[in-house]
Structure 1
Amino acid sequence: MTDQTQRPLNVAIMGAGRIARHMAETLSKMAASEEYASVAKPYAIASRSQDKADAFAKDFNLPHAYGTYEAMLADPDIDLVYIATPHNVHEENGIACMRAGKNILVEKSFTANEKQALNLLDVADDTGMLCTEAIWTRYMPSRAMIDEIISSGMIGEVTSISADLSYPVSYKSRMTDPSLAGGALLDVGVYPLNFIDMIMGAQEIKDMSTIMVPYSTGVDASNSTTLVYDDNTMAVATSSMLCASDRDGIVRGTNGYLICHNINNVESIDVFDADHKLTNHLHVPEQLTGYEYEVAAAVKAIREGKHECIEMTHADTLRIMHLMDQIRQGWNLTYPFE
């Protein structure tokens, strides 16, 4: 294998579902882009079906299609694997990849629970491979834009945050099946929690209240969680797989507030003063798909010999996984495999 600093890294995709197709589209656009052509190369797809892998490879012009994960892991030319399988098998898949010498970019939710996350990160420490969570909002330029508004003092001292992400997706079996770690929380609810966490960081949560409405299978269909931090900032995260929502993230301060339109992929940010007057409207930079930022960050970390990305450190991932475990504990919701 040639020097990883001198060529684009070969990226393979594990799993051939909807989100895998988005990543394949992203990698194709990166390869055709002057800015990203030297970063990553679309290389392979691995599915549990050779026919499905072949069709996927044809759709995205991938040079290699594997009908088993084991066959893909035996390929010595793969530098980075994007894991796009269901939450409940991320631990198993990620460990297999790293033991085979593959760096990994793991689709959110990182794992189904904190215990699995700890196991996965133990193997990252043991192997020295990159292991990072692919929650794209952590890597996007919008994050730095929000940070800059808050640090400038434009809205004053932050005292309140709210964030919602809801889509009517209960028709998808992976969303409703407890054995696949289904429910709104791990799929869409993880975004409001990350939105809040990107602002509050590692500050201790001193109080939490949470409630959910169950789906017929027992997983959460809709949920709401209120967090109170050590500095008395109150944050409310809501999500649902039953309805469409405004998807807004709002950060409120003593001198005004900001509204992020679509926390799943921030489209624009409006800043208001204390009299509700619009003082600034910011557009985010044009993007290929939005996934390119996490891929580029992973490649940068690999080239620097790191096994985590600064945009989503292992500590960040564990903090979110721990919080989601606490939330489910408040609902008395466990998955069959736990």
Structure 2
Amino acid sequence: MNNIAILGAGRIATFMAQTVNGMKDVNLYGIASRDINKAEEFAKEYSVEHAYGSYEEMLQDPNIDLVYIATPHSHHYDHAKLCLQYGKNVLCEKAFTANKKQAEEVLSLAKEKGLLVTEAIWCRYMPMAQMIKDTLNSGKIGTPASLISTFGALVSGKPRLKEPSLAGGALLDLGIYPLTFAMIAFGNEISDIKTSAVLTDLGVDETHSVILTYKDGKVATLSSSMISAMESQAIIYGTEGYLKVYGMNNYEKIEVYNSNRELVETIERPEQITGYEYEVTAAFKAIAEGKLECPEMPHEETLRVMEIMDGLRASWGVIYPFD
């Protein structure tokens, strides 16, 4: 049985706990919080074997095979390094770190320690990601030419999204999903990026738009906001039709349309626990095979995403204390 422990006992940790409890070959071994009462309450509610009142205490436990980092992305750099220093493999929630420099340091330490580190951007690991690629490669919509992806939510009131010191703004929390979708569909050979953003009084992006132009002539237009409930979907247009993908963080279904705008095929998402199970399975598979990264989300791709987001923030004038 593979033992996983969760570092941080917030909302996203509950989502992972529910997932692991539905998996047959993974054991929810530990939960750590800076508050032992919070950890014990979490353990009781989600049937976790062990509760710890500090991250260091949990990381000293030799029975843990993988640590899922569920803290805000402003803390991922410190917590990933802490896990690695204690000899633990890491599944780190997105955004991997606050910037590329931090990501490079974490990946370098993982390589030095011979440990797996992978970014837990769940849609990369889902069967639907490959199904989207397969549908595009099938020629059902001809040659793909452009895409539009939107994802927004009414979350501007959350403290962690307000503050530059917490790596706030829409980009790292929401905008990463349309960007990820574009890279799944069209790859990362981008020749030009144009962008615009509206900033809050504290200097983080509340709404932004991005246009990616690819070396082969494809164009991706991406929009995200933390002050409006944008539709969570994408449309990919081709020379002989188009397809719609519903759900930018958890792909729900694909609809294929011909050039007459007629629906010709619907591809449903496979049955799942929550969708998080795929990243957990991929991480344990990579560990068993002695790999230091998951093929579903290679380190090179994590760094490319961080590099693009660094560039976007720089062009908007969004600066974090750790930049």
Same fold by TM (over 0.5)? yes
* Per-residue deviation, residues 44-78 of structure 1 (Å, max 9, x unmatched): 00111111111111110111111111101111111
Per the alignment, residue 15 of structure 2 pairs with: 22
> Which residue is 1:255 aligned to?
240
Deviation track 1:258-308 (CA, whole Å, cap 9, x = no partner) reads: 100111111111001111111101111111011001000001000001010
For the aligned residues, what is the CA RMSD? 0.9
Task: Pick the aligned partner of 1:121 from 88, 92, 107.
Answer: 107
What amino acid is aligned across from residue 59 of structure 2 in structure 1?
L
Listed as ranges, the gaps of 5+ residues in structure 1 are: 1-7, 31-36
The TM-score with structure 2 as length reference comes to 0.98
> Structure 1, residues 79-107: CA drift from partner, whole Å, max 9, x if none?
00000111121111111111211100000
1:246 CA displacement: 1.4
Report matched runs for 1:49-60 at 5 Å: 49-60=35-46
Q: Tell me how far apart the structure 2 counterparts of residues 300 and 52 of structure 1 sit (CA, whole Å).
A: 31
The alignment's TM-score, normalised by the length of structure 1, stands at 0.94
- For residues 252 and 17 of structure 1, the distance between their equivalents in structure 2, rounded to whole angstroms, comes to 39
Residue type matched to 2:313 in 1? R
Shift of 1:337: 2.7
Q: Aligned equivalents of 1:146 and 1:218: distance in 2?
A: 36
Q: Which runs of structure 2 are paired with 1:125-136 in the superposition (5 Å)? A: 125-136=111-122
Aligned partner of 1:188: which letter? Answer: L
Tell me how many residue pairs correspond in the alignment: 323
Q: Corresponding residue for 1:143?
A: 129
Partner of 1:173: 159
| Cα distance in 2 for residues equivalent to 1:61 and 1:230 | 50
**1:225 — aligned with what?**
210
Report the equivalent of 2:147: 161
Question: For residues 301 and 208 of structure 1, what CA distance do their matches in structure 2 show?
Answer: 34
* Consecutive unaligned residues in structure 2, runs of 5 or more: none
Aligned: 1:242 with 2:235:
no
Please name the residue that 1:329 is paired with.
Answer: 314
Structure 1 residue 165: Cα displacement: 0.9
Residue of structure 2 aligned with 1:216, choices 198, 201, 204: 201
Q: Shift of the alpha carbon at 1:336? A: 2.1
Deviation at 1:141, TM superposition (A): 1.1
Q: 1:300 & 1:109 partners in 2: Cα distance?
A: 22
Asked if 1:317 is matched to 2:310, the reply is no
Q: Deviations over 1:164-205 (max 9, x none)?
A: 1101011111111110101100001100000001122232x2
Q: Counterpart amino acid of 2:34?
A: R
Within a 5 Å distance, the mapping from 1:62-77 to structure 2 comes to 62-77=48-63
Match of 1:47 in 2: 33
Matches of 2:69 and 2:273 in 1, distance apart?
20
Separation in 2, partners of 1:103, 1:336: 28
SS in structure 1 at match of 2:107: helix
